[in-house]
């Protein structure tokens, strides 16, 4: 197949069934989804509906029970270097400085020291952490720690960023600040984003498309006004948030 399309992920008719003590829990049944290069997808729905499971599948950490997930037209059989995952907890090492925490994935990739220094410096600057490099995680605020965790992912120059409820522990102001940072980074560097959230405003602000687990079905909706930092203050934003809330509750069927 010639890769003329912009398609990055193709989830093709997958089933995902967990087996716990002879009991089956089917999370996906004949589910399909396509994600393009540089596209931002928000995933929203109630607890236990399968959001984290989807992220694990896209990360190559879990294989579907049936069907195939393609990444750049190849079946995804395991983790991939250009797919970065940020799971719920920060996962920073307390005994390493901010700069060392960001440097770690580069060390693992055996990138030479000079190059590592430059990349770490650039990443700290991009995230407004230039003055915090020598500090330890415990000396930072929650929002700053979250930025370090983002830095550790970005320094690897991913093509895909998978985030599982990354900002849920933050206050509203910090959350919006980090949403702005993520939005700009993804736009500037053409990084595809799949962000799992249970926050309606976050999904509407960040997602070009929103995957909604609601009622008894999974729907993919367009969110055409996304991607502007002033979107949050517009009437369309409130209308879209309210429509999304209804879909999650299952009051409204897909059109």
Footprint of Mg ion (CB under 5 A)? 52
CA 74 to chain centre: 21
CB nearer to ligand ADP: give 34 or 53. 53
Least distance from ligand ADP to the Cβ atom of residue 90, Å: 18
Residue 86 makes contact with ligand ADP by CB under 6 A: no
Bridge partners of 194, per DSSP, are 41, 162
Cβ closest to ligand ADP, residue 83 vs residue 98:
83
Show the binding pattern over residues 23-52: x = contacts ligand ADP (CB under 6 A), - = does not.
--x-x-------------------xxxxxx
Of 52 and 144, nearer to Mg ion (C-beta) is 52
Q: Which residues, listed in sequence order, are joined to residue 190 by a DSSP beta bridge?
A: none
94 binds, among ligand ADP, Mg ion, none (CB under 5 to 8 A by kind): none
Q: CB of residue 168 vs ligand ADP: minimum separation in angstroms?
A: 12
- Six-digit token string for 11: 């989830």
Residue 27 vs 140, nearer CB to Mg ion: 27
Binding string to ligand ADP for residues 105 to 124, with x set by CB under 6 A, is what?
--------------------
Closer Cβ to Mg ion, 53 or 180, answer by number: 53
Instruction: Compute the least distance from the CB of residue 143 to ligand ADP, in Å.
Output: 23
Place of tokens 């596209």: 39
Question: Considering CB distances under 5 to 8 angstroms, the limit depending on partner class, which of Mg ion, ligand ADP, none binds residue 25?
Answer: ligand ADP
Nearer to ligand ADP by C-beta: 182 or 196? 196
Exposure string of 205-243, with b = 16+ CB inside 10 Å and e = fewer, is: bbbbbbbbbbbeebeebebeebbeeebeeeeebeebbee
- Count residues near ligand ADP (CB under 6 A): 11
Q: Is 117 helix (H, G, I), strand (E, B) or coil?
A: helix
Q: How many residues in total does the chain contain?
A: 255
Cα(67)–Cα(128) distance, integer angstroms: 42
Q: E-strand spans in the chain? A: 7-20, 23-36, 40-44, 66-71, 74-75, 83-86, 160-164, 192-197, 209-214, 217-222
C-alpha 14: how far from its chain's center?
20
Choose, by CB under 6 A, the member of 53, 82, 100, 180 that binds ligand ADP.
Answer: 53
Contacted by 20, from Mg ion, ligand ADP, none: CB < 5 to 8 Å by type: ligand ADP
Hey, CA dihedral for 228, 232, 236, 242, is it positive or negative?
positive
Angstrom distances, CA of residue 177 to CA of 27, 79, 92, 128: 33, 30, 20, 11
93 interface partner picked from Mg ion, ligand ADP, none, CB below 5 to 8 A per type: none
Return residues touching ligand ADP (CB under 6 A). 18, 20, 25, 27, 47-53
């Amino acid at each position: 197949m010639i890769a003329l399309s912009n398609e990055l992920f193709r989830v093709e008719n997958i089933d995902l069934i967990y087996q716990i003590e002879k009991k089956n829990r089917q999370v996906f049944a004949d589910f399909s989804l396509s994600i393009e290069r540089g596209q931002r997808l928000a995933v929203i729905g109630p607890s236990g509906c399968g959001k984290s499971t989807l992220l694990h599948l896209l990360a190559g950490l879990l294989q579907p029970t049936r069907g195939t997930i393609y990444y750049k037209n190849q079946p995804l059989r395991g983790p991939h270097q250009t797919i970065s995952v940020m799971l719920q907890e920060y996962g920073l090492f307390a005994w390493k400085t901010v700069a060392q925490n960001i440097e770690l994935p580069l060390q693992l990739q055996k990138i030479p020291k000079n190059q590592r220094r430059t990349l770490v410096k650039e990443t700290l600057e991009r995230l407004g952490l230039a003055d915090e490099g020598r500090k330890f995680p415990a000396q930072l605020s929650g929002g700053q720690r979250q930025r370090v965790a983002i830095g550790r992912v970005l320094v690897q120059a991913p093509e895909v960023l998978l985030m599982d409820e990354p900002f849920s522990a933050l206050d509203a102001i910090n959350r919006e600040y980090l949403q702005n940072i993520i939005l700009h980074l993804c736009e500037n560097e053409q990084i595809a984003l799949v962000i799992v959230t249970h926050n309606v405003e976050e999904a509407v602000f960040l997602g070009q498309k929103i995957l909604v687990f609601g009622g008894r079905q999974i729907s993919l909706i367009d969110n055409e006004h996304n991607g502007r930092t002033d979107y949050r203050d517009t009437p369309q934003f409130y209308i879209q948030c309210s429509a999304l809330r209804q879909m999650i509750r299952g009051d409204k069927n897909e059109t």
